[in-house]
Amino acid sequence: MTPGHIESPLIQGAQRYQRLTLINGGSIRIIDTNNLVVASNPIWGYDYNPSYGTYNGKFTKLNILYAMALENAASLADVVNNTTAALQYRQQAAAVRTAVNTYLYNSTANFYMISDQQTVGIAQDTNSLAILSGIASELNSSIPQRLLEQMKQKLRVLVANGTGYLSTTADGIPSGTSVIVSPFISFFHAAAAFEQDRSDLAFDVLDSVWSPMAQPGPYFTGTFWESERPNGYPGASTSMAHTWSAGITPILSKYVLGIKPMSAGYTKWSIRPQPGNLTWAAGSVCTPHGIITVNWNNSHAEFRIVVNIPRSTSGIYSMNHNFQF
């Protein structure tokens, strides 16, 4: 793709569909009779933080991501008009989603386990992805809110000199290992909160995790870091300029500005800002059809918004609980 050029959704869809077909074909070989991916090879259970070790067996996050990949493959199959494959992928995804809720959810303690072999410990990514994927809602419509409250209670750093959300509770990692605050994983947590209309929790995640990196101090670099200690400082080997903390950028566009694609290439879109306590926001998203811009001001007595959209697109504007403006 040449600089400044945005390929059509059809071309992108066809290219990505071919890659996903190969990946999904290989994944079938490690599916058990319960429709779950089994991480028998340590590589499959190797996670984002090496010190946390590897997870064997039916790794919950891996299965949630597999279900999401199948659904994305189905959407791409729709783009290339392969209805047979689209149906097959959706059926596979449904089977995996059901299996996750059947075998990997702890109904007594109300959280999704790290794996069938790591049944203690509440992981931020596992439970956030269960919400984002819709798997938690399929179990019970109240589960996502309960998971968010559970993560706030168990993962929020509350000590006087600490900040952020832990990526897991201490009992979810090997003994002697230090728990980190992960901007990478906190992206999924904030997105899950926004998807549940919990902007209060979402902004708490964003503020508590990213503020230590943005505030002037002895570790300020002008860039965002790979991870943080619970005291708000980087570790000795932490990268001080890392793309893993870049998730705040799409968060601001998708939820704070409120610009979401509802079909390939933003041909259809939704604009639904979640301002929280912010008084204004302005920004844009580039699409194959042109640029979508949003500029809103919130006095808390009046909310004003100006939207510019490409003529060849259509969408819906809303605010909070289906309030139209």
Q: What is the CATH number of the domain that holds 163?
A: 1.50.10.10
- Would you say residue 207 lies in a domain? yes
DSSP code for 280: E
One-letter amino acid of 243 = T
Burial code of 218-245, b = ≥16 C-beta within 10 A, e = fewer?
Answer: eeeeeebbbbbbbebebeeeeeeebebb
Q: Render pLDDT for 183-209 as a digit per residue (tens, 0 to 9).
A: 999 999 999 999 999 999 999 999 999
Question: What confidence score (pLDDT) does residue 2 get?
Answer: 40
239 and 313 housed in the same domain: no
Which tokens in the block code for residue 302?
């009046």
Is there a single domain that holds both residue 136 and residue 201? Answer: yes
**What does pTM read for this prediction?**
0.91
Tens of pLDDT, residue by residue over 10-56, are: 556 667 777 777 777 767 778 899 999 998 777 777 888 888 888 88
- Look at residue 13 in the predicted model and tell me its pLDDT: 61
103 with 181, same domain? yes
pLDDT grade for 79, boundaries at 50, 70 and 90: confident
- Are 39 and 108 in a shared domain? yes
- CA–CA separation, 74 and 299 (whole Å): 43
Please identify which residue in the block is written with the tokens 């075998």: 103
- Residue 291 phi, psi (nearest 5): -100, 135
In degrees rounded to 5, what are phi and psi of residue 280? -160, 160
> What whole-number distance in Å separates Cα of residue 129 and Cα of residue 61?
7
Q: Which of 193, 219, 246 is the last residue of a domain?
A: 246
Given a contact cutoff of 8 angstroms between Cβ atoms, the answer to whether 99 and 107 are in contact is no
Same domain, 191 and 291: no
Q: Residue type for 16, please? A: R
Q: Domain total for the chain?
A: 2
CB 224 within 8 A of CB 245: yes
Residue type, 89: Y
pLDDT level of residue 90 (50, 70, 90 thresholds): very high
The residue among 322, 290, 294, 297 whose CA lies nearest residue 308 is 294
Quickly tell me which residue has 């289906």 as its tokens: 322
Give the other-Cβ count within 10 Å of 174's Cβ.
Answer: 8
Write the CATH number for 270.
Answer: 2.60.420.10
Q: Across the chain, what does the average pLDDT equal? A: 90
Q: What is the mean pLDDT of residues 128-140?
A: 98
Do 37 and 154 fall into the same domain? yes
> How far is residue 62's CA from residue 38's CA, in Å, rounded to a whole number?
9
In this structure, the answer to whether residues 200 and 66 fall within a common structural domain is yes
Where helices occur in the chain by DSSP H, the ranges are 9-27, 60-79, 83-103, 124-132, 135-139, 143-155, 183-195, 199-214, 248-251
Give the domain range for residue 299: 264-325
